[in-house]
């Protein structure tokens, strides 16, 4: 049997046409054996296998952007697409247009993968949580401006604490562009000096809430300086933003109830404080009034005026007593005065006589002791250089002094002889 001669290229083209016509829109299940994310092109190259063979696959950028989870080696997946042939090398591969995890949904796997990644980075750690202020004056709400969630939050704010300043930052909360807009809105809210940021939306399907499971939103929540409350969906919904946020609220309205005080409770507490302080002030005033009265009595008792009055009374009493004593003494001394005068006169006369005799005795002693009176007539005191001396010590031509009781002579020794 003769067969027509074919070129390699012609054969590859026929095989390509046959495979692509036969294997269109099929699903293949297998375990990821290898995977490569091409950063420049955005394409994903991977291979899947079972216990007997493997298959090369590629997912181009347009489809790869819609992947909800990260392809990882060892993950079992279901790949939907078609078989194609690369004719220059005669190789065939599977062109994937959609991938689902085997046995679990794509969103569930993506959720778990991102949760593990962010947990490893410390996004969920309690020590990284910022405390929610007790006294909130300015609140930023990051949500859709026409949403029911915003309406519910505003209603609760007006009911609980209408004095607070509220800034509404509008953003998409679902869809492909929602995650990036939410992140941008959060970064903006961090710049307006709000005390707390509440980010969230009402309930919905997993796909509707998925924007709050995106890594870009988690990065924004973790990076903010302002405390963030995540209030997404209903109580049964737990989003990645709930784990990263500083506080998780089951619903948007519950978030407001959790962070804002109730004005009725505040008014009641203020009333209690007012009553307590009024009673305390009343007690203080009563005790102060008692103390004032005591101090007034003490002041009157120890005042200068009272003391002067007491001293004046004492002085008058003593003056009268003194006058009485003096009158008694004068009467008593009046009879003794002549006797005292006589005794005093005798004492004076005796004292004068004694002092006169003592004076005469001292005068005689002075006269006898006076050196001038001790020199006899014809005798004189000899001195030289202001010192007393005798004639034996005076030499020829020495100058010396001669003095008696009345006269002083300066003399010169012209001749000297011994007697």
Is residue 2 in some structural domain? no
Is residue 43 in some structural domain? yes
Instruction: Say whether both 171 and 233 belong to one domain.
Output: yes
Instruction: Say whether both 143 and 95 belong to one domain.
Output: no
> Domain residues for 34?
9-111
Is residue 228 in some structural domain? yes
Q: What does the pLDDT look like over 348-388, one tens digit per residue? A: 888 888 888 888 888 877 776 666 555 556 677 888 888 88
Query: pLDDT over 90 for what percent of the chain?
Result: 33
Q: What is the mean pLDDT of residues 149-170?
A: 93
Instruction: Say whether both 44 and 145 belong to one domain.
Output: no
Instruction: Say whether both 139 and 236 belong to one domain.
Output: yes
Instruction: Say whether both 20 and 76 belong to one domain.
Output: yes
Instruction: Say whether both 99 and 13 belong to one domain.
Output: yes
Is residue 180 in some structural domain? yes
Domain boundary among 221, 242, 261: 261
pLDDT tier, 1 (very low <50, low <70, confident <90, very high otherwise): very low
Is residue 168 in some structural domain? yes
Is residue 276 in some structural domain? no
Instruction: Say whether both 141 and 62 belong to one domain.
Output: no
Cα separation of 31 and 230, whole Å? 36
- Nearest one of 25, 389, 35 to 400, comparing CA atoms: 389
Contact assessment for residue 185 and residue 169, using Cβ atoms and an 8 Å cutoff: yes
Contact assessment for residue 60 and residue 46, using Cβ atoms and an 8 Å cutoff: no
Domain boundary among 79, 111, 143: 111
Cα separation of 54 and 46, whole Å? 10
Output the CA–CA distances (angstroms, integers) from residue 34 to 66, 83, 137, 358, 361, in the order listed.
20, 19, 54, 149, 151
Instruction: Say whether both 159 and 208 belong to one domain.
Output: yes
Instruction: Say whether both 231 and 178 belong to one domain.
Output: yes
What CATH number does residue 25 fall under? 2.40.50.140
The pTM score is: 0.51
Is residue 308 in some structural domain? no
Cα separation of 376 and 405, whole Å? 9
Domain boundary among 261, 288, 305: 261
Q: What does the pLDDT look like over 172-213, one tens digit per residue? A: 999 889 999 999 999 999 999 999 999 999 988 888 888 999
What CATH number does residue 170 fall under? 3.40.50.2300
- Matching residue, tokens 């394409």: 43
pLDDT tier, 51 (very low <50, low <70, confident <90, very high otherwise): confident
Is residue 82 in some structural domain? yes
* Domains of the chain: total: 3
């Amino acid at each position: 049997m003769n067969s027509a001669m074919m070129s390699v290229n012609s054969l590859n083209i026929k095989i390509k046409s046959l495979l692509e016509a036969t294997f269109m829109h099929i699903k293949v299940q297998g375990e990821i054996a290898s995977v490569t994310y091409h950063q420049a092109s955005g394409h994903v190259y991977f291979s899947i296998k079972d216990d007997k063979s493997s298959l090369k696959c590629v997912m181009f950028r347009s489809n790869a952007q819609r992947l909800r989870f990260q392809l990882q080696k060892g993950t079992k997946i279901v790949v939907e697409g078609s078989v194609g042939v690369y004719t220059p090398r005669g190789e065939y591969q599977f062109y994937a247009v959609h991938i689902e995890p085997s046995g679990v949904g794509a969103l569930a796997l993506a959720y778990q993968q991102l949760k593990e990644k962010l947990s490893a980075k410390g996004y969920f750690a309690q020590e990284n949580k910022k405390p929610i202020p007790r006294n909130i004056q300015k609140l930023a709400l990051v949500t859709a401006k026409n949403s029911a969630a915003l309406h519910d939050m505003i209603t609760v704010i007006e009911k609980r604490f209408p004095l607070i300043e509220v800034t509404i930052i509008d953003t998409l909360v679902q869809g492909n562009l929602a995650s990036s807009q939410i992140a941008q809105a959060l970064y903006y809210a961090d710049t307006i000096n709000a005390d707390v940021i509440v980010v969230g939306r009402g309930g919905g399907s997993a796909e509707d809430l998925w924007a709050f499971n995106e890594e870009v939103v988690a990065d924004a929540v973790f990076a903010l300086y302002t405390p963030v409350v995540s209030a997404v969906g209903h109580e049964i919904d737990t989003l990645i933003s709930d784990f990263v946020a500083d506080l998780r609220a089951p619903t948007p309205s519950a978030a407001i109830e959790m962070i804002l005080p109730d004005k009725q409770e505040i008014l009641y507490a203020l009333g209690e404080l007012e009553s307590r302080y009024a009673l305390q002030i009343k007690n203080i005033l009563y005790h102060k009034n008692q103390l004032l009265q005591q101090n007034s009595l003490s002041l009157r008792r120890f005042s200068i005026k009272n003391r002067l009055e007491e001293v004046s009374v004492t002085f008058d009493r003593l003056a009268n007593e003194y006058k009485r004593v003096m009158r008694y003494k004068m009467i008593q001394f009046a009879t003794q005065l002549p006797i005292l005068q006589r005794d005093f006169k005798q004492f004076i006369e005796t004292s004068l006589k004694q002092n006169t005799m003592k004076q005469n005795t001292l005068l005689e002693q002075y006269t006898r002791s006076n050196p001038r009176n001790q020199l006899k007539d014809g005798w004189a005191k000899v001195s030289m250089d202001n010192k007393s001396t005798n004639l034996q010590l005076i030499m020829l031509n020495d100058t010396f002094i001669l003095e008696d009781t009345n006269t002083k002579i300066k003399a010169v020794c012209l001749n000297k002889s011994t007697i």
